[in-house]
């Protein structure tokens, strides 16, 4: 299988990776959550080539993660803003940052603290069950086929019977 085909797999992780699964895209998203909106600012902050940056930004716009918004008419200039779909990636970015803070930070500790605006305390993201509120880890969870996979399997079985 080729990387460009990973988005066709019957797997939500593979499909998500087909959109956000490279280092430059994740760094663009990190900076977008930190308030970066303009192409030149992304370019300066990340040090990525203009061509690669334009490609990654276009892909994020194409998939509805970012939207272009005009901020100047003459000459025309646009900035990039997170959509609802993009804002839903906050947990992914913060979880990745938390892992990096725990396992990859240097001897001086985490480079960035995330402070909850409402209470003013440094906050870490934790996974919890939306039904009972209990914290969950990988050991507390079980994976089973969901509706998308069950439907795909039924379609395959129907196709086999028709042969």
Q: Do 96 and 152 fall within a single domain?
A: yes
Structure-model confidence comparison of residues 56 and 149, the more confident one: 56
Domain that holds residue 49: 1-83
Q: Do 66 and 107 fall within a single domain?
A: no
Q: Do 34 and 70 fall within a single domain?
A: yes
Q: Do 117 and 66 fall within a single domain?
A: no
Tens digits of residue pLDDT in 8-61? 787 889 999 999 999 999 999 999 999 999 999 999 999 999 999 999 999 999
162 has pLDDT over 90: no
Q: Is 6 exposed, middle or buried (0-12, 13-18, 19+ CB in 10 A)?
A: middle
Q: Please tell me the predicted confidence (pLDDT) of residue 124.
A: 87
Q: Do 94 and 75 fall within a single domain?
A: no
Q: What is the CATH number of the domain that holds 49?
A: 1.10.10.10
How close are the terminal C-alpha atoms of the chain, in Å? 25
Q: Do 76 and 130 fall within a single domain?
A: no
Q: Do 98 and 133 fall within a single domain?
A: yes
Q: Do 152 and 128 fall within a single domain?
A: yes
Q: Please tell me the predicted confidence (pLDDT) of residue 157.
A: 59
Tens digits of residue pLDDT in 83-108? 999 999 999 999 999 999 999 998 99
1 has pLDDT over 80: no
The domain boundary, picked from 16, 50, 83, lies at 83
159 has pLDDT over 80: no
Alpha-carbon distance of 98 to 57, in angstroms, equals 25
Q: Do 3 and 75 fall within a single domain?
A: yes
Cα 154 → chain centroid: 30
- Looking at the structure of the chain, the number of domains it has is 2
151 has pLDDT over 80: no
Tens digits of residue pLDDT in 46-75? 999 999 999 999 999 999 999 999 999 999
158 has pLDDT over 70: no
125 has pLDDT over 60: yes
Q: Do 118 and 151 fall within a single domain?
A: yes
Strand residues in the chain grouped as ranges (E): 66-72, 77-82
The domain boundary, picked from 83, 113, 138, lies at 83
The domain boundary, picked from 83, 103, 127, lies at 83
Q: Please tell me the predicted confidence (pLDDT) of residue 163.
A: 58
Q: Do 10 and 76 fall within a single domain?
A: yes
């Amino acid at each position: 299988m080729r990387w460009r085909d990973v988005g066709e797999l019957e797997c939500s992780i593979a499909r998500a990776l087909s959109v956000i699964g490279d280092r430059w895209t994740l760094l663009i998203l990190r900076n977008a959550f930190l308030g970066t909106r303009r192409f030149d600012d992304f370019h300066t902050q990340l040090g990525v080539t203009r061509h690669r940056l334009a490609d990654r930004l276009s892909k994020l716009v194409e998939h509805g993660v970012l939207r272009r918004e005009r901020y100047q008419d003459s000459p025309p200039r646009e900035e990039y803003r997170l959509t609802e779909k993009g804002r839903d990636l906050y947990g992914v970015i913060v979880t990745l940052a938390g892992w990096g803070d725990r396992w990859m930070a240097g001897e001086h500790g985490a480079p960035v603290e995330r402070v909850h605006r409402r209470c003013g305390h440094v906050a870490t993201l934790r996974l919890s069950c939306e039904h009972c509120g209990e914290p969950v880890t990988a050991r507390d969870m079980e994976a089973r086929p969901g509706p998308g996979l069950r439907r795909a399997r039924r379609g395959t079985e129907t196709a086999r019977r028709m042969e």
